[in-house]
Every structure is written in structure tokens, then in C-alpha cells.
């Protein structure tokens, strides 16, 4: 279009008075429908008179109105039918979000038959979009700048029409940056805001970006794990797997508070985790239970991390939820199988351990029947009966149901009480039990009798392992949400292969030991979700470390 030094009326600018020498990109901000129709007629009629290619991107209703008016103005049916008409809702994809790369590709493909043959083409386009489209204030100006770059080196005369009553001022200024000319119902002038397209992102870069976004969307939809996007603690998106996990359409989960996807007992934990995320902290993988729309309860793993969506002022996260129901069932089956295996081993061990004293007792009874008994034999019989009684007692402790009364206990106080209790026994072997490094108010939920039994068994073993006296150090402290109890002796120590067998039934380093004492210790600590680790060095001693979860109010 030849240069404009001043503004002119559209009826002049859109006729043969304005020659298209190279690409012209005009922004038309209309406000009156009758003027809009008159200007469109002038533009289309001139294109037909000059034998230009003519493209009309409007509603089907407006197609009919403009075609009928052209026929009334003397154009033949053949001329009118040569106009390429496209429904602007389909062209701009108003049934979807405004995808820049997709719309631009459609525009380029539409004008390409003319451009490739170096023919002039006139395009009249009424731009439309879905009202709920995200970031439209950014997308529209960027699209027009990219379109201007495509038009610049061609003979495409494009009028981009926007309803001036619907476009906010800030978006209108952005649109002017992508058009070399701006037109109203009664005036056309050079755009004072126009910015050369040198700074505009490459069409192909933008296409690549849109393709990548679509690729990631597809990837998320196909993930085998449930993916939720959560904004301000409410679900705004869920993928296909999320709908399957919760046994219903994802629309039933949108706008639902994220915590309500989980069983009520996890609500506080979910809120704590999201509050930590909002403060910029990391949260570890956690196991919880969700409740589906059909009220089924499923074991899951969840991990969440911050995610910037549209508004940086909105707190947004991505949460990935994995169904671990099958894994849990498999674990239960494995544990059950292991328990049966241990029961078999335990039964064999008991039979072996009880058979020995029973054999001795049986022999002595035969001697008694033959009147060959001496007093010393009665002592041996008593010892063998005591051994059977010890095995039976420790097995009863091992097999006690876990429904023992549980209360809030101070670990430091329990450890100190046990140390005082065993101090006199230790002194007889020239052993000093030191428990000064015991932190008080380290609370756990347990049965105090059971936990004291653990401390007694370990400290007694330490006393028995120190033939030449020495020191036993006992300590208790809080560490990262865990109560850590350490009992360290200066005894003989144990080789690695012995340490690995500790806790097995009837395995003991003592000549008269059953091994059940330590097995009971391991069983009790595991019952309270804790663990025992053992570190030993020959000639230097052994350290037992017990870790138990601290009580949280």
C-alpha cells in the first residue's frame, strides 16, 4: 500500500485509489455494524474489480449478507462465488483455546495458493475467540505480530477486524504494535504504535513451542500415574489416569479442595505439606489413602512440587499420585509367607531346644525307677526344667497380642530408670553404667513395660559381654523427628556374620542363651514403627542404636 501521510476515509483507502505494492496489514476497530458492512463491501468489491484473490473470514450469516449486497451492486454470481468464504469460528478455533501456531498455520495455508503464484490477495477477517480463553491479552497481539511478519514480503492486503466495544484499551495498543495501519469506521491512518517485526519471535519457534506444549499435554494425559494441577488448594486439572483412579469423570473433581481427595485422617497432613510448598520447602514422597467417588479406599503415593501456570500470584502445584494398592497386597502376601516360613523354622528350633532337656530328664527318670538316682541328678533335672520354662516364657512374650495398653512415655525417663535398676548388677562385675547424656521430654507412644524390657535385654547382654569390667554408655536424644537411643558397651564385640544373625530365634553367642530375648526386642521396636541397628567390632565392643518416631501433637 502506498504511504499515508495523513488519515483518509476507509471508502477511499479500500478502493482502487490505494495500490497494493507489498503486504499491508490493517487493524480495523469497528463500532457500528452498518459502517462495518459498507467498508467490507468496498474492500471486497475492489478485489473483484481488480481480479485479486478475495478471502472472507466471517460468520455464515455475514457471508450471505455481503454476497447478496455484492449481487445487488452488479457483480455476477460467478464473481461472487469466486470469493473464498471461511467460518471465522472454525478458522480461529473458538471451540478450543486460541492456539497461535495453529491459527497462523491456517492463515498461511489459506493465502499460500496466491502467494506462491505471486498474485495479489485481499483478506477480510473478523477475529474471534472463546471468551474463557487463557492469556488472550498476550496471545492476540503476538499472533498479529507474527501474521504481520508473514504478510510483509507478499502482496497480501489484510484487514483484521475487532469489535472496538469489546477489546480493552491495553489489548488494543498491543494489537496496534502488530499492524502498520489502524482503521476505524470513518478513518484509516498509520499506526503510531507499530513495531517492526524484527523483534517478533520466529513463526517456526512459536510453532515449535506450541507443538512442544501439545506434546507435553499428550504425555501427561497418557501417564500411568494420576496427575493433578492444583491452584490455591483446589483441583483445576486432572489427566485420564486421575479419572480412572477416582472412578468417575474428571469434571466431578474440578474445583474440589485437594485435601478432600484423601481420607479425613490425612487432611491435616495434606494442608501441612502444601503450606510447606508455599514457603518454598521440599516435601518428600508420602504414602496415604485416597477415597474414590464410589467410596473405595486405595493406597497411594503422592509427591507434589510448585508450578507456575498463568498468574504468579496464585499458588499452583502439580501433584502426582501413584496407585500402590497392588504393591501393598503383594507386600502383605510376602510378609504372610515369611511369617509362615519363620513359624516353621521356629517350630523346628523349639523341638530341638526342648528335646535336649527332655532327653536328660527321661534318662534320669529311668535311673530313679532303678533306684540309681543321686542328689546331684535332681539338681540337673531342675535346671533342665528351668530351661524349658525359660523357653516357654520368652515364647509367650514373643506371641503376645499387640493390643497392649499404649500411652505417652518419656524415652529418657524409661532409659534412666532401667539404668538405675541394673546398676547394682553391673557394679558386681566392675561395670559402670553412665546415663548422663539422656535428653528428657522425648515422648513416644508405646507400652512402657515392653519398651523397658527392650532396654533391660540389651543392657543385660552388654553386662554379660564385659568380663573384665568397663563402661556402658546409654544416651537418648531427638533427631529429625526421631527418638534415638544408643547403648554402647566395651565388651568382646562380634564378627559381622554374627551381627547379621542377631534377632533370629535360638541364635545366641551365649552358651545357655536361647536368642529369643533379642528377637523379642526386635519385634517390640518394629511394632512401634522403629528399627534397631547393631554395630560391633571385635575386641572393642558393640553399639545398639534404636530409632523410634517421636510423638507429634
Domain boundaries, the chain: 10-201, 223-323, 329-398, 407-549
Cell of 193: 504504535
Continuous H helices in 82-202: 88-91, 100-115, 136-151, 169-176
**Are the C-beta atoms of residues 441 and 412 closer than 8 Å to each other?**
yes
- What's phi and psi for 393, nearest 5 deg? -65, -45
pLDDT above 60 (res 83): yes
**Which tops the pLDDT comparison, 14 or 209?**
14
CA pseudo-torsion sign 534, 538, 539, 540 = negative
Residues in the chain: 553
Place of cell 547424656: 437
pLDDT above 60 (res 402): no
CATH for 329-398 is: 1.10.287.130
Residue 78 has what pLDDT? 93
**Are the C-beta atoms of residues 203 and 104 closer than 8 Å to each other?**
yes
pLDDT tens digits, one per residue of 180-208: 888 898 888 888 878 765 444 433 334 44
Average pLDDT for 423-434: 83
**Are the C-beta atoms of residues 309 and 231 closer than 8 Å to each other?**
yes
**Are the C-beta atoms of residues 285 and 302 closer than 8 Å to each other?**
yes
**Are the C-beta atoms of residues 217 and 258 closer than 8 Å to each other?**
no
pLDDT band at 465 (very low <50, low <70, confident <90, very high): confident
pLDDT tens digits, one per residue of 208-224: 445 555 556 777 888 88
Helix or strand (DSSP H, E) at 450:
helix 448-464
Alpha-carbon gap, residue 294 to 120, rounded angstroms: 62
Place of cell 509362615: 340
Closest CA to 467 of 432, 434, 431, 496: 431
Cell of 92: 480461529
Alpha-carbon gap, residue 100 to 214, rounded angstroms: 12
**Which tops the pLDDT comparison, 349 or 134?**
134
Place of cell 537411643: 485
Average pLDDT for 494-503: 74
pLDDT tens digits, one per residue of 277-311: 888 888 888 889 998 999 899 999 999 988 766 55
DSSP assignment letter at 257: B
Give the max Cα distance, the chain. 143
pLDDT above 50 (res 2): no
pLDDT tens digits, one per residue of 96-130: 777 888 888 888 888 888 888 888 899 999 999 88
Helix (H, G, I), strand (E, B) or coil at 122: strand
Cell of 200: 517478533
pLDDT above 70 (res 352): no
Average pLDDT for 321-341: 75
Place of cell 512459536: 206
pLDDT above 60 (res 400): no
CATH for 10-201 is: 3.40.50.300
pLDDT above 90 (res 160): yes
In this structure, which topology does domain 407-549 adopt according to CATH? Heat Shock Protein 90 (3.30.565)
pLDDT band at 370 (very low <50, low <70, confident <90, very high): confident
Cell of 553: 501433637
Query: C-alpha angle with apex 396: 395 to 402, nearest 5 degrees?
Result: 115
Place of cell 472463546: 130
Residue 503 has what pLDDT? 56
Closest CA to 476 of 444, 526, 438, 518: 438
Mean residue pLDDT of the chain comes to 80
pLDDT band at 166 (very low <50, low <70, confident <90, very high): confident
Cell of 253: 473433581
Report the DSSP beta bridge partners of residue 129.
none
Q: Domain 223-323 is of which CATH architecture? A: 2-Layer Sandwich (3.30)
Alpha-carbon gap, residue 262 to 264, rounded angstroms: 6
List strands edge to edge, sheet with 234-238. 234-238, 226-231, 316-323, 297-306, 286-291
- pTM of structure: 0.39
Residue 90 buriedness (CB in 10 A; 0-12 / 13-18 / 19+): exposed
pLDDT band at 500 (very low <50, low <70, confident <90, very high): confident
In the chain, % of residues over pLDDT 70: 80
Amino acid at each position: 500500500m502506498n504511504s499515508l501521510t495523513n488519515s483518509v476515509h476507509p471508502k477511499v483507502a479500500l478502493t482502487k485509489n490505494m495500490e497494493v505494492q507489498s503486504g499491508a496489514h490493517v487493524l480495523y476497530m469497528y463500532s457500528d455494524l452498518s459502517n462495518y458492512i459498507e467498508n467490507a463491501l468496498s474492500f471486497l468489491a475492489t478485489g473483484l474489480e481488480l481480479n485479486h484473490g478475495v478471502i472472507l473470514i466471517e460468520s455464515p450469516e455475514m457471508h450471505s449478507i455481503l454476497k447478496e449486497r455484492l449481487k445487488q451492486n452488479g457483480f455476477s454470481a460467478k464473481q461472487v462465488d469466486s470469493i473464498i468464504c471461511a467460518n471465522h469460528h472454525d478458522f480461529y478455533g473458538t471451540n478450543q483455546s486460541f492456539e497461535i501456531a495453529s491459527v497462523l498455520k491456517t492463515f498461511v495455508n489459506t493465502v499460500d495458493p496466491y502467494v506462491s503464484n505471486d498474485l495479489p490477495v485481499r483478506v477480510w477477517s473478523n477475529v474471534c475467540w472463546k471468551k474463557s480463553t487463557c492469556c488472550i491479552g498476550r496471545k492476540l497481539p503476538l499472533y498479529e505480530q507474527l501474521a504481520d511478519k508473514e504478510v510483509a514480503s507478499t502482496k497480501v492486503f489484510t484487514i483484521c477486524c475487532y469489535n472496538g466495544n469489546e477489546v480493552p484499551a491495553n489489548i488494543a495498543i498491543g494489537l496496534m504494535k502488530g499492524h502498520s495501519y489502524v482503521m476505524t469506521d470513518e478513518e484509516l491512518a498509520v499506526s503510531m504504535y507499530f513495531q517492526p517485526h524484527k523483534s517478533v519471535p520466529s513463526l517456526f519457534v512459536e510453532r515449535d513451542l506450541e507443538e512442544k506444549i501439545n506434546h507435553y499435554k499428550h504425555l501427561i494425559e497418557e501417564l500411568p500415574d494420576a496427575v493433578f494441577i492444583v491452584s490455591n488448594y483446589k483441583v483445576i486439572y486432572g489427566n485420564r489416569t486421575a479419572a480412572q483412579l477416582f472412578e468417575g469423570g474428571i469434571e466431578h473433581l474440578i474445583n474440589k479442595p485437594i485435601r478432600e481427595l484423601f481420607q479425613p485422617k490425612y487432611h491435616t497432613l495434606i494442608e501441612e505439606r502444601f503450606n510447606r510448598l508455599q514457603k518454598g520447602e521440599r516435601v518428600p514422597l508420602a504414602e496415604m489413602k485416597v477415597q474414590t467417588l464410589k467410596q473405595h479406599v486405595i493406597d497411594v503415593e503422592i509427591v507434589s512440587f510448585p508450578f507456575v501456570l498463568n498468574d504468579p500470584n496464585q499458588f499452583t502445584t502439580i501433584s502426582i499420585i501413584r496407585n500402590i494398592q497392588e504393591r501393598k497386597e503383594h507386600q502383605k502376601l510376602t510378609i504372610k509367607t515369611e511369617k509362615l516360613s519363620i513359624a516353621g523354622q521356629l517350630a523346628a528350633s523349639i523341638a530341638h531346644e526342648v528335646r535336649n532337656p527332655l532327653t536328660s530328664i527321661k534318662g534320669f527318670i529311668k535311673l530313679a525307677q532303678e533306684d540309681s538316682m543321686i542328689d546331684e541328678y535332681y539338681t540337673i533335672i531342675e535346671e533342665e526344667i528351668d530351661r524349658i520354662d525359660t523357653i516357654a516364657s520368652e515364647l509367650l512374650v514373643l506371641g503376645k497380642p499387640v493390643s497392649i495398653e499404649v500411652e505417652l512415655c518419656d524415652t529418657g525417663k524409661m532409659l534412666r530408670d532401667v539404668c538405675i535398676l541394673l546398676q547394682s548388677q553391673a557394679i558386681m562385675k566392675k561395670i559402670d553404667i553412665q546415663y548422663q547424656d539422656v535428653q528428657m521430654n522425648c515422648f513416644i507412644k508405646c507400652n512402657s513395660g515392653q519398651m523397658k524390657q527392650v532396654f533391660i535385654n540389651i543392657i543385660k547382654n552388654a553386662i554379660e559381654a564385659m568380663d573384665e569390667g568397663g563402661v556402658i554408655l546409654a544416651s537418648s536424644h531427638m533427631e529429625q523427628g526421631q527418638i534415638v537411643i544408643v547403648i554402647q558397651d566395651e565388651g568382646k564385640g562380634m564378627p559381622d556374620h554374627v551381627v547379621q544373625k542377631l534377632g533370629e530365634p535360638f541364635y545366641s553367642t551365649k552358651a545357655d542363651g536361647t536368642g529369643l530375648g533379642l528377637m523379642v526386642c526386635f519385634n517390640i521396636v518394629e511394632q512401634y514403627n522403629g528399627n534397631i541397628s547393631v554395630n560391633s567390632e571385635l575386641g572393642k565392643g558393640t553399639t545398639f542404636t534404636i530409632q523410634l518416631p517421636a510423638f507429634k501433637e
